[in-house]
Structures are given as C-alpha cells and as structure tokens.
Chains A and B, each alone.
Chain A
Amino acid sequence: MIRDITIGQYVCGNSVLHRLDPRTKILSTVSYIFALFLIDSLWCYVLNFSLILIFYLICGISLKMVLNNVKPILPILILTSIINLCVIRDGEAVFSFWIFSLTDRAIFFTLTIFFRIILLIFSSSLLTYTTLPVDLTRGIEKMIKPLAKIRFPVEEIAMMISIALRFIPTLILEAEKIICAQKSRGFNMETGGFIKRAKCMVPILLPLFVCAFKRADELAVAMESRCYRVGGQRTSYKTLSFKKLDIFFALGFLAVLTMVFMINAFFR
C-alpha cells in the first residue's frame, strides 16, 4: 500500500536524536553520506551500518518502517547488482561458468554499492523520522540564509518546502481514494507487464495533478486572506538554538567519522 511508504514523515518521540537542533542533524546526515561515498573498505561499511542501527535503537523506531522505504527500489538494486557482477572482469576469478566469471573485485564492488544505497536511505529516513518538517525547513532556511544577500529567495523556498511536506499525507490519502474510484470502475492495475503497469499510472496521476492544482489555488487565496505576501517581512513563531547536547553530539559524531576514515586508510 502507498500508505506504508514513510519518506518524509515524522515519528513522535523524545529521544536524544529528537531533541537535537535540526541543523546539527542535517549537517551530520550530510557528512555521513559524504563518508559513505568516500570509504571503500568493507569493514567500514559494517561499522557505518552498526552506527546507524544504534541510532535507530536509541530513538526507538522500528526497522520495519525504513525497510518499507527500501522495498520500492529493491528491484533496481538487485538488477544493478547482477549487471555489476557480470560486467566487472578485473581481479581474480572466484567462480566461472561458460562465458561468465565472478571475480573477487566484482563481488566487492557490488557489495559496496548495495550497502551505500541502503545506508543512504537508512540515514536520510532517520533524519526525517526524528525531525519535524517545520524544524527541518527552519533549519534549511537558517543554513541558506546567507544566500539572501545575493537576492536568493530564501524564505519563499523554505515556505514551499514546508507546504510540500505538509501536503504529503493529504495527497497520499487522495491518491488512495482515486485508486479506489478507478478500481470500482473496473480498472485493473495489479496485472500485466511493466509497460502496461506504467500506463496504469496515467488515470491515477492525472486526477491527482488536477486536484493538486485546485488545492494550490484555494490555499493561495486562504494564505492571502491571512495576510501573507510574497517577499514580505515575517517574524518567526519559534527560533532555533544550539544547546550543549548539540555540541556533545557533533563532537562525538565527528570523532566516530574520523575513526572510520582512519580504519579505512590503514586497514584494508
């Protein structure tokens, strides 16, 4: 069901990760993802994986949720893995059959790619699970604030992101209703090949888009009624502040990442 996909959703809680400043979390996630793409030792991936598992444990979010997010891209992941295994030829052959041969480098490379993508989803999901959309946008707004000097529309972009996040649950519900409505008219979307299924998306996406535009229109009128003006001065209901916890977390996280890099450099 579409409802199971939880990208961009917040899970209520009061763990250490929930209480951190969004900017700390955004920067940590970004540096974690950078690290993922820079390291190339299998042990480091294991280390990174256990690190993220510990985080999930701390904030008490079940892994089932994030696995639901992995599910939709699993076919692509498996396909690329198979292609990688077959195409990469350098390194020593471990196993060979007819014209195919499996080399140790191919296995290694496939595993790293696989881990990278899975961990990418795990870490970015963790960010949205533990951070309220409003805080997330506020964090982003604060971080790109310097760009306002070169006339970059910082506040408008932050408003757009927060409205987009606000409407995810509404649009998911609407998509479900549309699917039910189409099904009740004898519309079949569960069988058929890949192309047929892709075509099935049209009668769902089209009404969804039309509805989204209508909603946008009404929302714009409602926002104007409440004195919103593009480019106008605004104050903020809540402001962000770094606390001691943020400093401890940032230092600790930095130490762990440095350690990972050291292991990556010395133990291959």
Chain B
Amino acid sequence: MRPLIDVNGLHFSYLNENFGKEVLNDLNFSIQQGEFIAIVGHNGSGKSTLAKLFNAIFLPTSGTIFVDGIDTLNKELIFEIRKQVGVVFQNPDNQIVATLVEEDVAFAPENLCVSQEKIGKIVDRALEMVDMKKFKKSAVHTLSGGQKQRVAIAGILAMNPKCIVFDESTSMLDPVGRKEVLDVMKKLNRENKTTIINITHHMEEVVFANRVIVMKDGEILKQDTPRNIFSDEDLLKKSGLLAPQVTEFLNTLCGELALKKRTVLDVDECVEVLAEILEGEKIGDS
C-alpha cells in the first residue's frame, strides 16, 4: 500500500538564522493511512519544523516528502497537499481568524471556493465531530482554551483531511482542555480513520499512539511502540525524556523489590501488575 506520508533523505535548514546549521538531518520514514503517531523530543529537536514540512509551509532543503503521492515541492498542487494534511497549532488564539465560531470553521472552505449551500453542511458536520455545535453562533473570545482548540480542529476538519498534525496543541491547555482535545484525536482516529500525528511533550499522551518517533537534534533516535520505547532505559536517558508517572513508579518499585521489570502504560495495567505482585506475596506467606 502506498504510504500517506513518505519522507526520503530529508534535510532542512533555515536560510536566515544559524545559516548552514541543519535543523533536520537525513530523515527517512513513512506514515500509513489511519496510523496514530506521536513525535517526541526536546525543544530544538526539530519536531515543530517537521510539522510545517508536512503541509508545504516549509520546503525541504534536500530530499523529498510525498503526501498521498504528491511531492510537496510541486507548487501547483500545494492546496491539494494542504487539504490532505491539516495542522493544529499550539496557541488557539493565533489560529482562529474570525470572530464567530461558524465563520471561522467556514474559512478553509471559503478559500477552496466551495459553494454556499455546501459550506453550511460542512460547518455543521465539522462542529458536530468536535462536539461544539451548540457554540456555533458564539464569539470565539468567550470560549475556554479547550473549546477554542476544538474550534480550531473543526476548522481543519472542514477541509476533510486524511491526516491531522497536532503541533503541541495541548501544551497551553489546562487538564480538562487537554482531555477534551485528546478525546477528539482518539475519536477521529477511531471513527474516521484519520491519520493523527501528535507532536507533544506530555508522555501521558504518547501512550495512545500506535508508534512513537523519538527525535533528538534533528535525527530520529528510534521509532517503536510506546511500550518498547518506555522500556528502553538507554534511549530515555539519551533523549532526555521521562516515562509516564505510572511507568516510572512501577519501574522503581520493581527495582526496590528486586522483581522482574515490567513496563506498564496506564493506571489500569499498573493496578493489574500490582495485584499480581500482592497475590504472589500472599502465596509466599502461607
């Protein structure tokens, strides 16, 4: 099957600042339709730059990126690429164009010259998907952070993309807002088979991904399932990442009790393993 995004020998450096310093250095990977990817790495690892390369805001210095078979260097099909890959940015305030929720969602279809009757339907459907329909006529500045970010997602959904990139979209939100946005991500991936690429600092979000790409200084250190990533202590140390608290907790506990190491990803798994350990204790006692 042809991958949705195909990155080959990608190099990228900015022209103006730090001339000559490579931000991205020889990246090779591909992403299939329907995958849920997490990209993690420290500040300056080049992950946000990568997001802007996916939809041709930046163009590769050398190497190629193919989106659904189209080279991002192809200027004539640039809207085709941007329609396929939508990006939700960090600050909700700086990506909402219009004063009213419905007007903002309509922005992309307006740019794509969709007819008036169709835009109405598109707006309703997009707002339905992010569960913001009752705020259709509200002014954007009256909404909470999580709600604003969901409006921004609806604005992207209005283009009916195959892939949505979340560029640290939850980092400015409170826990409630973060959960709202995460739920939307999961729902879109599950129900619409939309490819999700979540660029994040929060390891709790990484757990939901099918595949994690760990980046450092413009290079990919490893790509694997979350479980394998979080059990690889050398990798975590090298990339300066911290495993989720539950994982960390159980690792430490097992170390203290000199038990076999096990990697858990969420609270439920942790409870299961703990119950098993306690069960073993009981048998040992009697």
Which A residues are within 8 Å of any B CB, using their own CB? 10, 132-134, 162-163, 165-166, 169-170, 173, 215, 218-219, 221-229, 232-239
Contact = CB atoms under 8 A, between A and B. Distances in A.
B82 interface: yes
A134 B116 contact: no
Interface stretch (B106-114, B186-194, B272-280): B106-114
Interface in B78-129: 79, 82-83, 86-87, 89, 91, 93-100, 102-103, 106-116, 119-120, 123
A222 B95 contact: yes
B108 A227 contact: yes
Contact of A226 (B91, B99, B107, B120): B107
B38 interface: no
Contact of B102 (A10, A221, A232, A237): A237
Contact of B93 (A10, A215, A224, A229): A215
Contacts of A226: 82, 86, 97, 107-108, 111, 155-156, 159
A227 B99 contact: no
A229 B107 CA distance: 12
B159 A227 contact: yes
Interface residues of B, number: 40
A13 to B, nearest CB: 13
B141 interface: yes
B111 A219 contact: no
A224 B93 CA distance: 16
Nearest to A221: B57
Contacts of A162: 97-99
Max chain B Cβ within 10 angstroms of own Cβ: one of A134, A226, A227, A237:
A226
Nearest to A172: B141
A225 B98 contact: no
B52 interface: yes
A242 B20 CA distance: 59
Interface of B: 52, 55, 57, 79, 82-83, 86-87, 89, 91, 93-100, 102-103, 106-116, 119-120, 123, 139-141, 155-156, 159
Contact of B89 (A169, A221, A235): A221
Nearest to A173: B141
User: What are the 9 tightest A-B residue pairs by CB atom distance, in nearest-first order?
Assistant: A222-B95, A237-B106, A218-B94, A169-B141, A226-B108, A227-B111, A166-B99, A225-B87, A133-B99
Contacts of A163: 97
A134 B110 CA distance: 14
Contacts of B79: 227
B91 A218 contact: yes
Nearest to A239: B116
A169 B143 CA distance: 12
Contacts of B87: 222, 225
Contacts of A239: 116
B122 to A, nearest CB: 10
Contacts of A221: 52, 57, 89
Max chain B Cβ within 10 angstroms of own Cβ: one of A162, A215, A235:
A235
A134 B98 contact: yes
10 contacts: A170-B141, A218-B95, A219-B97, A222-B94, A222-B95, A228-B107, A234-B113, A236-B110, A237-B103, A237-B109
A225 B57 contact: yes
Contacts of A133: 99
Nearest to B94: A218
Contacts of B116: 235-239
Contacts of A229: 111
B114 A227 contact: no
B140 to A, nearest CB: 7
Contacts of A225: 55, 57, 82, 86-87
Contacts of A235: 109-110, 113-116, 119
B15 to A, nearest CB: 16
Nearest to A234: B110
A218 B89 contact: yes
A233 B111 CA distance: 7
B51 to A, nearest CB: 10
A81 to B, nearest CB: 37
A233 B112 CA distance: 8
Contacts of A227: 79, 82-83, 108, 111-112, 159
A133 B100 CA distance: 9
